[in-house]
């Protein structure tokens, strides 16, 4: 396997670990499969080399990730604000996984900025905010943070094998961030998957736990989204809007809309899909997906306070749902998206 990071960087990481007394691991708001898989995998790995750590996430993560061994010990800032603040204050080394700037942790990120704590980033998103971290392990072409974690473990231990628990968590993150191995997959990634299989994971079980665990409400919400979807053929674009009331009607749980934004991309000719969701916090959450060269990262960064990857990004809008969609349509007109293929 090709080394992703220099030996000097790995030595720096080990130096920070050896100098640390208390370690915490955090990931982004609305944690997804890669976020949860990577924090669990990394925390378990640290334990195998003698370092105890606590995992803290800003808010709830989806039920379809709760089968992952170790998720029961995750602290959720939304529920346990004081405990999480104390754990962060007590830590002297913080691992930041699957996000590129502290603002991706909302209020928790602001709190972390006030602390005197060494911060190590492990991530694969475009546009790292270098000033937020002391040491960064970031590679944007890599499929997932879980893949990066596996490759760091391999560089540290010089071994291909990890425990079945670590393998299972990392596989779950790789699987979800690649859309079940449809994008961002290098030949190297499949070699890693082969290694993980040899560590004793049950691929069918993991796939089923993540993808075949819909509640009836979630399935009906998916059908509703497809019916409600608006298509703008002239812009090769489709979008779905969900209000707070609609989410309540389907008894929305965190993660229920995961993957829905990809559905319109199955329509012939659609190269941009956006899901607009009214969040409990009062802003509009955007999920953006594209096919080919059109960069939703650029779109999210320029217009929607967000970013991510070229073909999968997220963002926020602080005006109403209708105003957000109107603004979005105006941008489409200006960008002339898809004009080169029409
Ligand atoms: P999703 O649409 O599934 O929420 O996110 C797609 C990708 O964009 C993920 O890699 C996620 O980490 C990133 N992302 C989601 N929301 C935001 C955001 O508000 N800001 C930034 N910078 N990235 C985001
Ligand atoms: Mn990721």
pLDDT for 207-222, tens place per residue? 999 999 999 999 999 9
Q: Is 308 in the pocket of ligand 1 (CB under 6 A)?
A: yes
Could you tell me the pLDDT band of residue 79, with boundaries at 50, 70 and 90? confident
* 330 CA distance to ligand 1 middle (Å): 22
CATH number for the 7-210 domain, one of 3.90.1300.10, 3.40.190.10, 3.40.50.2300, 3.90.1640.10? 3.90.1640.10
C-alpha 230/C-alpha 222 separation (Å) is 14
* 38 CA distance to ligand 2 middle (Å): 9
Pairing of strands 284-290, 307-308: unpaired
Q: So what's the pLDDT on residue 115?
A: 97
Ligand 1 atom, smallest distance to 101 CA? 22
pLDDT at 329 over 80: yes
Nearest to 17 by CA among 48, 40, 57, 41: 48
Ligand 1 atom, smallest distance to 127 CA? 22
pLDDT at 339 over 90: no
Spell 72-109 as b/e; 16+ CB within 10 A means b.
eebbbbeeeeeebbebbeebebbbbbbbbbbebbbebb
Could you tell me the pLDDT band of residue 127, with boundaries at 50, 70 and 90? very high
pLDDT at 340 over 90: no
pLDDT at 151 over 90: yes
Q: So what's the pLDDT on residue 281?
A: 85
Higher pLDDT, 281 or 328: 328
Could you tell me the pLDDT band of residue 1, with boundaries at 50, 70 and 90? confident
pLDDT at 338 over 80: no
User: pLDDT tens-digit profile of 179-206?
Assistant: 999 999 999 999 999 999 999 999 999 9
Residue with CA nearest ligand 1 atom 20: 306
Q: Considering the entire predicted model, what is its pTM? A: 0.95
Q: Is 255 in the pocket of ligand 1 (CB under 6 A)?
A: no
Other beta carbons within 10 Å of 233? 12
Question: pLDDT over 90 for what percent of the chain?
Answer: 95
pLDDT at 336 over 80: no
Q: Is 306 in the pocket of ligand 1 (CB under 6 A)?
A: yes
Q: Which ligand is nearest to the CA of 31?
A: 1
Tell me what the pLDDT averaged over the chain comes to: 96
Residues contacting 230, CB < 8 A, separation 6+: 238, 239, 240, 241
181 sits in which H/E element:
none
User: pLDDT tens-digit profile of 24-39?
Assistant: 999 999 999 999 999 9
Q: So what's the pLDDT on residue 317?
A: 98
pLDDT at 44 over 70: yes
* 209 CA distance to ligand 2 middle (Å): 19
Q: Is 31 in the pocket of ligand 1 (CB under 6 A)?
A: no
Q: Which ligand is nearest to the CA of 36?
A: 2
pLDDT at 256 over 90: yes
Q: What is the mean pLDDT of residues 147-166?
A: 96
CATH code, 216-335:
3.10.310.30
Q: Is 316 in the pocket of ligand 1 (CB under 6 A)?
A: yes
User: pLDDT tens-digit profile of 108-120?
Assistant: 999 999 999 999 9
Strand, helix or coil for residue 241: strand
pLDDT at 104 over 60: yes
Q: Where are the domains of the chain?
A: 7-210, 216-335
pLDDT at 341 over 60: no
User: pLDDT tens-digit profile of 301-311?
Assistant: 999 999 999 99
DSSP assignment of 40-106 equals HHHHHHHHHTT--EEEEESS---GGGTTSTTGGG-EETTT-HHHHHHHHHH-SEEEEES-SSGGGGT
- Ligand 1 probe mutation, 313, 315, 316, 324, most atoms within 8 A of CB: 313
Q: Is 314 in the pocket of ligand 1 (CB under 6 A)?
A: yes
């Amino acid at each position: 396997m090709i080394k992703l990071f220099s030996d000097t960087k790995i030595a720096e990481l080990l130096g920070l670990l050896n100098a640390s007394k208390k370690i915490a691991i955090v990931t982004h708001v609305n944690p997804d499969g890669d976020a949860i898989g990577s924090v669990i995998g990394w925390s378990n790995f640290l334990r195998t080399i003698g370092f105890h750590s606590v995992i803290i996430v800003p808010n709830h993560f989806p039920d379809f990730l709760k089968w992952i061994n170790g998720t029961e010990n995750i602290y959720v800032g939304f529920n346990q604000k004081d405990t999480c603040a104390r754990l962060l204050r007590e830590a002297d080394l913080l691992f930041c996984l699957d996000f590129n700037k502290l603002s991706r942790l909302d209020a928790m990120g602001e709190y972390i900025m006030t602390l005197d704590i060494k911060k190590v980033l492990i991530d694969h998103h475009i546009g790292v905010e270098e000033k937020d971290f002391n040491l960064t392990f970031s590679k944007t072409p890599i499929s997932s943070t879980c893949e990066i974690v596996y490759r760091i473990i391999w560089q540290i231990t010089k071994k291909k094998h990890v425990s079945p628990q670590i393998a299972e968590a990392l596989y779950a993150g790789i699987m979800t961030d690649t859309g079940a191995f449809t994008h961002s997959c290098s030949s190297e990634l499949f070699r890693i998957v082969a290694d993980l299989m040899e560590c004793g994971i049950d691929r069918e079980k993991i796939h089923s736990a993540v993808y075949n665990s819909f509640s009836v409400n979630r399935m009906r919400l998916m059908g509703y989204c497809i019916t409600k979807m608006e298509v703008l053929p002239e812009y090769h674009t489709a979008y779905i809007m969900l209000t707070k009331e609609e989410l309540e009607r389907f008894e929305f749980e965190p993660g229920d809309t995961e993957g829905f934004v990809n559905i319109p991309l199955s329509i012939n000719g659609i190269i941009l899909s956006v899901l607009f969701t009214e969040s409990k916090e009062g802003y509009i959450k955007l999920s953006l997906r594209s096919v080919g060269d059109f960069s939703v990262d650029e779109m999210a960064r320029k217009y929607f306070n967000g970013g991510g990857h070229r073909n999968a990004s997220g963002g926020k809008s602080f005006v109403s749902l209708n105003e957000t969609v109107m603004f979005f349509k105006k941008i489409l007109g200006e960008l002339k998206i898809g004009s080169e293929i029409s």
